[in-house]
């Protein structure tokens, strides 16, 4: 504000906005200044006074317009810079979270029973359609289980971030110890050389399934495999802890589930692209998995147990 306001005999400039500047320095019929940027109150009775007043208002209007343009350009640049920073930050958060749960997703994907089930379905009548239904059931189950863990951890973190962080680490440590215990149990119960694993015997029934039964098999098998539920709960907790908002969390969740489903999706993709000429190779792969279910399970439990224990020990730091 220039001047002392609206007192008679004085004038002031209104900085309220550029609107009306085009009318600046115009003197009305009664001698009053009608510019919106000017509140000149006394009558402009002398010609020289009116001329000087109009010149001042015109100069001020030009300066005001230039400043307004500069401020608008600065605002746009600041907004673009902030958006770029936010995009970079979000990409970094997502990449970090995906890297954190990647070992868990790969461990879920290496599920010999599920992979064999998918291959058996592929080699059966209408095998491609059955395998797709099985994969859909598997993916939905993993999304639900992991999504619940993400939602619960997210709510808890809003209430008490520090306590939730410690709780996730303790839960991760407990999971690690459980998986190390499962590795020991699997080792002690491993079949004798030449004897098929108990899981392989159950897979003989898969061939006879069709339609909704196959979809149900995918839904059940994703949570019935001992390691999948605790792994997915641990992954969900880590996703919620690593991400800053729900959109980032759900993006990482989808990526996690897709990676965790690669054991089923890759044979399906190979069968669709390669056609029936790859059936012998798929059958050989199935036989190899059936013969090595126990060692694969033992190694998987051992690796994921060590991984979770290493993550969980951070609670003591």
Q: Report pLDDT digits (tens) over 164-202.
A: 777 778 888 888 888 888 888 888 877 776 666 555 555
Asked if residue 274 belongs to a domain, the reply is yes
Question: What is the DSSP secondary structure assignment for residue 41, as one 8-state letter?
Answer: -
Contact 176, 306 (CB under 8 A): yes
**Mean pLDDT score, 198-223:** 75
221 and 154, same domain (yes or no):
yes
Contact 13, 1 (CB under 8 A): yes
For residues 21 and 62, membership in a common domain is answered with: yes
Distance CA 3, CA 98 (A): 62
In a domain, 54, yes or no: yes
**Domain-ending residue, one of 40, 59, 92:** 92
Q: Please report, for residues 30, 89, 132, 190, the alpha-carbon distance to residue 118 in angstroms, rounded to integers and kept in the order given.
A: 92, 39, 9, 23
Say whether both 184 and 292 belong to one domain.
yes
Establish if 97 belongs to a structural domain.
no
Checking if the pLDDT of 31 tops 80, the result is: no
Please check whether residue 103 lies inside any domain of the structure.
no
Q: How far apart are CA 36 and CA 61, in angstroms?
A: 10
Lowest-confidence region among 44-53, 122-131, 203-212, 280-289: 44-53
Residues 208 and 305 in one domain: yes
Residue 221 resides in a domain = yes
The domain in which residue 261 lies consists of 110-316
Angle between helices 47-109 and 246-260 (to 10 degrees): 30
Together in a domain, 171 and 268:
yes
179 vs 256: which has the higher pLDDT = 256
For the four alpha carbons of 57, 60, 64 and 70, in that order, the dihedral sign comes to positive
Give the mean model confidence (pLDDT) for residues 101-117.
87
Q: Provide the b/e sequence for 162-192 (b: ≥16 CB within 10 Å).
A: eebbebbbebbbebbebbbebbeebeeeeee
Same structural domain for residues 168 and 301?
yes
Residue 30 has pLDDT above 80, yes or no: no
Q: Determine, yes or no, domain membership for 287.
A: yes
Residues 123 and 87 in one domain: no
Better-predicted residue by pLDDT, 192 or 204: 192
Of 65, 92, 119, the last residue of a domain is: 92
| Range picked from 58-72, 213-227, 271-285 for highest mean pLDDT | 213-227
Same domain, 161 and 298: yes
pLDDT at 148: 93
- For residue range 118-173, what is the model confidence (pLDDT) as tens digits? 888 888 778 788 889 999 999 999 999 999 999 888 887 776 777 777 777 888 88
Q: Look at residue 192 and tell me if it is in a domain.
A: yes
Same domain, 32 and 125: no
* Residues in contact with 89: Cβ distance below 8 Å, sequence separation at least 6, in sequence order: 244
Higher per-residue confidence, 259 vs 160: 259
| Ramachandran angles phi, psi of 160, nearest 5° | -150, 85
Check whether residue 268 and residue 169 sit in a common domain: yes
Residue 98 in domain: no
Domain count for the chain, please give it. 2
Q: 61, 78 in Cβ contact below 8 A?
A: no
The residue from 41, 61, 92 where one domain ends is 92
Percent of the chain with pLDDT over 70: 71
* Average pLDDT score, the chain: 75
HSE of 39, CA atoms in CB hemisphere, 13 A: 15
Backbone angles phi, psi at 203, to 5 degrees: -70, -15
197 in the same domain as 303: yes
| 173 and 250 both lie in a single domain | yes
pLDDT in tens, 52-62: 666 666 666 67
């Amino acid at each position: 504000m220039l001047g002392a306001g609206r007192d008679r005999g004085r004038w002031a400039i209104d900085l309220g906005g550029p609107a009306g500047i085009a009318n600046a320095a115009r003197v009305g019929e009664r001698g009053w200044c009608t510019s919106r940027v000017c509140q000149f109150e006394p009558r402009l009775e002398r010609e020289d006074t009116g001329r000087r007043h109009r010149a001042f208002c015109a100069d001020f209007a030009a300066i005001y317009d230039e400043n307004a343009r500069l401020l608008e350009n600065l605002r746009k640049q600041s907004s673009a810079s902030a958006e770029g920073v936010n995009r970079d930050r979000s990409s970094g958060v997502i990449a970090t979270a995906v890297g954190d749960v990647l070992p868990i997703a790969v461990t879920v994907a290496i599920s010999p029973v599920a992979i064999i089930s998918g291959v058996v379905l592929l080699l059966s009548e209408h095998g491609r359609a059955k395998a797709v239904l099985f994969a859909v059931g598997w993916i939905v189950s993993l999304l639900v289980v992991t999504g619940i863990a993400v939602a619960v951890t997210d709510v808890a973190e809003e209430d008490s971030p520090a306590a939730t962080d410690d709780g996730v680490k303790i839960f991760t440590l407990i999971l690690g110890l459980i998986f190390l215990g499962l590795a020991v149990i699997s080792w002690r119960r491993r079949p004798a050389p030449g004897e098929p694993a108990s899981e392989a015997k159950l897979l003989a029934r898969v061939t006879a399934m069709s339609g909704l039964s196959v979809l149900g098999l995918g839904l059940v098998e994703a949570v019935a495999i001992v390691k999948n539920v605790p792994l997915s709960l641990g992954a969900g907790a880590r996703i919620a802890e690593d991400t800053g908002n729900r959109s980032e969390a759900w993006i990482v969740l989808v990526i996690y589930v897709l990676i965790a489903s690669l054991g089923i999706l890759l044979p399906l993709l190979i069968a669709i692209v390669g056609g029936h000429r790859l059936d012998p190779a798929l059958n050989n792969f199935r036989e190899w998995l059936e013969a090595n279910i126990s060692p694969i399970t033992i190694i998987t439990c051992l690796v994921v147990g060590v991984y979770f224990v290493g993550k969980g020990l951070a609670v003591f730091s």
